[in-house]
């Protein structure tokens, strides 16, 4: 579904992403892990054509993401609060995104029913603009909106960050449901156990390079913990 070829990003002469080859197959759930500054967000930004690679390319369904917008039809993503429209209420934002995806207000309402637990009564009917929500609740809005288009490919940058423990567990269940539906997912996280639980493959980035690419099994957490132990 996604093929990365000789992908590089340099800032001021420093290479922050350098991935000669990486293939993500349809239906795979990939956890992207790595220390601060490893290049995870930069990599996602190039997949989503938000920044231009210094070299190489990202193909989505065999087409360079820079040369066609077709991938936008089947890709849902949430990287940060910059993806939100912060002067709208969550309802206004969901209806706006719904409209872009051809959903009626009734469809949007039905879709949001699925997120009742995850929202924990703190997102809808709050009479507040998105900018006035906590970071964790803004994340919930972004994750729900990313899923609204019923995407084939879902890209989430640190979806567990800023969520309380109950919300993290609900998010894991939500992502596992999406995985069962066959959605291809690319999820970055600093929470090793969550990402291992949800994903069937882990890619470890260090200084922009892929240093491990492994299928998850019962020893993966131990392997990653020993890698990250200083």
Binding region for ligand ATP (CB under 6 A): 11, 16, 34, 36-42
Rounded-to-integer distance, Cα 117 and Cα 119, Å: 5
3-state secondary structure of 81: helix
- Complex with ligand ATP: residue 18 or 28, whichever CB lies closer: 18
The least distance separating ligand ATP from the CB of residue 203, rounded to whole angstroms, comes to 12
Closest CA to 37 of 201, 207, 221, 226: 207
The least distance separating ligand ATP from the CB of residue 70, rounded to whole angstroms, comes to 25
Q: In angstroms, what CA-CA distances link 181 with 82, 132, 133? A: 28, 34, 30
For 49: left if phi > 0, alpha if psi spans -120 to 50, otherwise beta; the answer is left
The least distance separating ligand ATP from the CB of residue 169, rounded to whole angstroms, comes to 22
- Complex with ligand ATP: residue 61 or 209, whichever CB lies closer: 209
The least distance separating ligand ATP from the CB of residue 20, rounded to whole angstroms, comes to 18
Q: Which two tokens stand for residue 22?
A: 């990486």
- Complex with ligand ATP: residue 28 or 158, whichever CB lies closer: 158
- Complex with ligand ATP: residue 40 or 140, whichever CB lies closer: 40
- Complex with ligand ATP: residue 41 or 77, whichever CB lies closer: 41
The least distance separating ligand ATP from the CB of residue 38, rounded to whole angstroms, comes to 4
Give Dmax over CA atoms of the chain in angstroms: 52
Q: Which two tokens stand for residue 24?
A: 């993500």
């Amino acid at each position: 579904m996604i093929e990365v070829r000789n992908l590089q990003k340099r800032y001021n002469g420093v290479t922050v992403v350098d991935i000669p080859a990486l293939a993500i197959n349809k239906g795979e759930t990939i956890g992207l892990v790595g220390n601060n500054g490893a290049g995870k967000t930069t990599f996602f930004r190039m997949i989503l054509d938000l920044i231009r690679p210094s070299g190489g390319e990202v193909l989505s369904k065999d087409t360079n993401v820079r040369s066609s917008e077709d991938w936008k039809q089947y890709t849902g993503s949430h990287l940060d609060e910059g993806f939100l429209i912060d002067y709208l209420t969550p309802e206004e934002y969901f209806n706006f995104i719904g409209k872009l995806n051809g959903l009626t207000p009734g469809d949007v309402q039905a879709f949001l029913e699925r997120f009742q637990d995850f929202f924990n009564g703190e997102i809808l009917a709050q009479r507040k603009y998105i900018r006035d929500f906590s970071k964790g609740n803004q994340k919930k809005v972004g994750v729900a909106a990313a899923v609204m288009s019923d995407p084939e490919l879902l890209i989430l940058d640190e979806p567990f960050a800023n969520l309380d423990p109950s919300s993290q567990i609900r998010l894991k269940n939500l992502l596992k449901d999406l995985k069962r539906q066959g959605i291809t997912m690319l999820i970055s996280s600093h929470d090793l156990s969550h990402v291992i639980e949800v994903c069937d493959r882990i890619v470890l980035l260090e200084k922009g390079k892929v240093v491990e690419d492994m299928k998850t099994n019962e020893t993966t957490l131990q392997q990653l913990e020993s890698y990250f132990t200083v």
